[in-house]
Structure 1
Amino acid sequence: MACKKTQGHDLLSNFLSSHQRLNIFLVVFLIVIISPTEAYDPLDPNGNITIRWDIMSWTPDGYVAAVTMNNFQKYRQIMSPGWTIGWAWARREVIWSIVGAQTTEQGDCSRFRGNLPHCCLRRPTVVDLLPAAPYNQQYSNCCKGGVLASWGQDPVAAVSAFQISVGLAGTTNRTVRLPRNFTLGGAGPGYTCGPAKRVPSTVFYSPDRRRRTQALMTWNVTCTYSEILVSKHPSCCVSFSSFYSEDITPCPACSCGCRNRNNCVSSSSGRLSSRVNISRNDDSPLLQCTSHMCPVRVHWHVKINYKDYWRVKIAITNFNYLRNYTQWTLLAQHPNLDNVTEVFSFNYKPLVPYKSINDTGMFYGLKFYNDMLMEAGPYGNVQSEVLMKKDKDTFTFRQGWAFPRRVYFNGDECRLPSPDEYPMFPSSACITLVSFATKSAAMLFMFLIFS
């Protein structure tokens, strides 16, 4: 009897342990699903925008700081109308002056007499100055209209900075309080900023690197991008075609949602100019009427098959009448991109997120030539051709191999057609039949000419 109790106890223990393991698994699974993992980008795992705040000197009631923004994202930039930075002061700090930027509002500064602060808001918002700003208002790396290139395009153009003088703040490292609740706007929704964190003080060098100075105090704020926060629909789509098939695979219907279908404009509409003028009062897009209703379409055309190479034509079309895409980027993932031989009208840079895989590359425009994708219309497209060397081990045109696995425009993933809709490579029997028919026709033509 005692033996039976022991066996029953063991069975109950095993059941409970297995039941507990199942509960743990379910909890972990739910955490993974519910947690905001969308901010993690497997193609750019370390991509972020870092705001660095360096206190350079103390003043009678505060400090002077250099604020630097670095866009460490490899292929996602900040376009016009440019960035805005906001935060909440820890106490009742004010901004006495700014060089290289300005706040959007001054706020209530009535408690001050004589020299008024630049901004007295508890939650100030700072914007960049335009390139034509007066010389005495400029600061190193300022005045770009808030536009930042991606780090992969141009590391120098991916930096913006301004100088700020803060009053009614602490005057030592122990009395200064870090601002809270940072926000990064202006670049559109999608960015979430973490808390400010103290880091080792930044070291600065003179241009000849002979003189070394160090910030009195430094803190960083890291902002990450999540596409899911922008929209539940994609913002671009991809279509396919090839030389070996008469079929053109269009973007899937309503690829970017059809919420703008009632407000779209036909490309032949004579009322376009009036619609554009009316719509410029808000931020909603004014799209050309299409089946996919996307602002941007990427077309990938397999153009030519050589003996040792093959050629692809890439065309990017803007269907938004209200927006230019400055310093655009296009990211493609394809197994043969490690054998790119020449890119004719775009810049190209391999993007290797994993050391052992080189299947991802970034395309972007040539400066002062096609680095701006114009609004919808006759000039609203850019295109290039890519020559790739055939990989003897993996190269094939069958089963859609020639088409990209993923495509991103300006950092957002585009919707691709379903693989079963790709232009199909003809079977060997069809190729033989076509070749035989072609040769027969040629022989008949020669016979008619010389007979």
Structure 2
Amino acid sequence: MFNYQQFRHISAPGWQLGWTWAKKEVIWSMVGAQATEQGDCSKFKSSPPHSCKRDPTIVDLLPGTPYNQQIANCCKAGVIDTFNQDPSNAASSFQVSVGLAGTTNKTVKVPKNFTLKAPGPGYTCGRAIVGKPTKYFTSDGRRATQALMTWNVTCTYSQFLAQKTPSCCVSLSSFYNDTIVNCPTCSCGCQNNNTRPGSCVNENSPYLQSAIDGPGKYTGQPLVQCTSHMCPIRIHWHVKLNYKDYWRVKVTITNFNYRMNYTQWNLVVQHPNFDNITKLFSFNYKPLTPYGGGINDTAMFWGMKFYNDLLMQAGPLGNAQSEILLKKDSATFTFDKGWAFPRRVYFNGDNCVMPSPDAYPWLPNASPLTKQPLTLPLLVFSILLATLLAYV
């Protein structure tokens, strides 16, 4: 399996791949992965197969698996990185020995109904397409053997299929305005103990640990901190300083999920000044050019290995932050009308909820609040003037 997505990886607890056999095939043995169920193998008396299920589900093996059960690109607990973050870990492999399938490319039938969970729903897989048989070369590269058949399956991701509500939101602040624009209310859901009891827990609750260890601990059910936005992840963008030729931004990622550590997380931000990033602190960075080389307004950030590439669960350590120094472009730079704030933000490939542009922190001399008191005197003056003209 290859992950060709630029900024969406497969995180823990990892991928689950399934399909339906076309005939009565069985899996005799596997290397690099395992089937979750053996199924009914009662008709095999001496040595039962690894799995006899008509629709097996395959999962990756864990790190530390004995070498005789490993294969290249296996045994990473189902975690697959993106090509941008770590191309060497953007693939996963396993080997299957299939029985009762046939011995020629005429008798072997292609499986159907492929499914991919990573780790939950969201991916839709197409039908298997028979392609050119794969060739395998010996270690010295002087001899090649050919596979009997090769087929390819493409799976595409949809955020709407993966979850009914968003998973992250954005808050804003700046040095030139005391206003902190929080995430929009109910960005990822609303607190409702009547219809969704136990969906969130207060930070200072005496029952916090018992709630974390509750029924949803082993199913991956989120348990978020009770907030107005109810999002597992919040990204805060703070316009920190203004220099003569540069300006500085501080980005903070906060985890509000008490049951989730985000491994190999990534953040994608769109801003017109990203073509002039000068210095970045404590994050890795790579420019993305989805519209071609002429437009460089999208940047991908992720944590440094062994430092902050693991975003811990909600609590004192559940955050990661960095500062970005950008060079000003005299033709476009301004703090007016919210220009300094991002256009779009994605966390782990999911689109985050942004505040309304009307709520962005304004410059002091451009704030609607400073202009509002003039409205009433002008209105009174207009009425008086109209009255005088009427008498004249």
Same fold (TM over 0.5): yes
Aligned match for 1:357, one of 295, 300, 314: 295
1:260–1:293 contact (8 Å) kept in structure 2: no
Secondary structure of the residue that 1:182 maps to in structure 2?
strand
Q: State the 1:206 CA deviation.
A: 5.0
Q: How does 1:74-89 map to 2 (within 5 A)?
A: 74-89=6-21
- Corresponding residue number in structure 2 for 1:37: none
- Indicate the structure (1 or 2) with the bigger Cα radius of gyration: 1
Alignment of 1:85-234 (within 5 A): 85-206=17-138, 209-234=141-166
Superposition map of 1:4-23 within 5 A: none
| Greater mean deviation of Cα atoms: 281-290 or 402-411 | 281-290
Q: Distance in 1 between matches of 2:188 and 2:72?
A: 40
Q: 1:235-271: per-residue Cα shift (whole Å, max 9, x none)? A: 1000000111111110000110115664221111222
* SS, match of residue 224 in structure 1: strand
Structure 1 residues 202 and 308, CA gap change in structure 2 (3 angstroms)? farther
SS in 2 for 1:172: coil
Whole-Å Cα distance in 2 between the matches of residues 139 and 266 of structure 1?
45
Among 297, 317, 326, the alignment partner of 2:234 is 297
Structure 2 CA distance for aligned equivalents of residues 212 and 352 of structure 1: 38
Q: Secondary structure at the match of 1:175?
A: coil
Would you say 1:391 and 2:329 are equivalent positions? yes
Q: How many Å separate the matches in 1 of 2:96 and 2:237?
A: 47
Question: TM-score of the superposition, structure 1-length normalised?
Answer: 0.78
Residue in structure 2 matching 1:272, options 208, 211, 216? 208
The one-letter code sitting in structure 2 at the alignment partner of 1:182 is F
Q: CA deviation at 1:286?
A: 1.2
Post-superposition CA distance 1:331-360 (Å, at most 9, x none):
101111111111111111111111132111
Aligned counterparts of 1:296 and 1:394: Cα–Cα separation in 2 = 31
Query: How many Å separate the matches in 2 of 1:348 and 1:165?
Result: 42
* TM-score for both structures, normalised by structure 2: 0.89
* RMSD between superposed Cα atoms in Å: 1.7
Map of 1:53-64 to 2, 5 A cutoff? none
Q: Across the two proteins, how many residue pairs are aligned to each other?
A: 362
Q: Structure 1 residue 428: deviation in Å?
A: 7.7
- Deviation, 1:426, is 2.4
Distance 1:260 1:180 in 2: 42
Distance of aligned partners of 1:206 and 1:240 in 2 relative to their CA distance in 1, 3 Å threshold: farther
Displacement of 1:208 after TM fit?
5.9
Deviations 1:355-413 (A, max 9, x none): 13211111101011111111000000000011111112111111000001000001100
Identify which of 402, 414, 423 aligns with 2:352.
Answer: 414
Unaligned residue ranges in structure 1 (runs of 5+): 1-68, 430-451
Answer whether contact 1:93 1:168 (CA < 8 A) is retained: yes
One-letter amino acid of the counterpart of residue 280, structure 2: V
The structural deviation recorded for 1:281 is 4.8
Q: C-alpha displacement at 1:193, in angstroms? A: 0.5
1:402 corresponds to which residue?
A: 340
User: Alignment identity in percent?
Assistant: 64
Who is 2:221 aligned against? 284
Q: CA deviation at 1:212?
A: 4.2
**In the alignment, is the contact (CA less than 8 A) between 1:260 and 1:287 conserved in 2?**
no
Q: Which shows bigger deviation, 266-275 or 118-127? A: 266-275
Structure 1: how far apart are the matches of 2:218 and 2:92?
A: 29
C-alpha distance in structure 1 between counterparts of 2:120 and 2:133, whole Å:
31
Q: For 1:273, give the aligned amino acid.
A: Q
Cα pair distance change 1:80/1:341, threshold 3 Å: same
SS at the partner of 1:273?
Answer: helix
Structure 2, unaligned runs of 5 or more? 368-392
The question of whether the paired residues in 2 share the 8 Å contact of 1:227 and 1:412 is answered with: yes
Flag the 1:272–1:177 CA change in 2: closer, same or farther, 3 A.
same
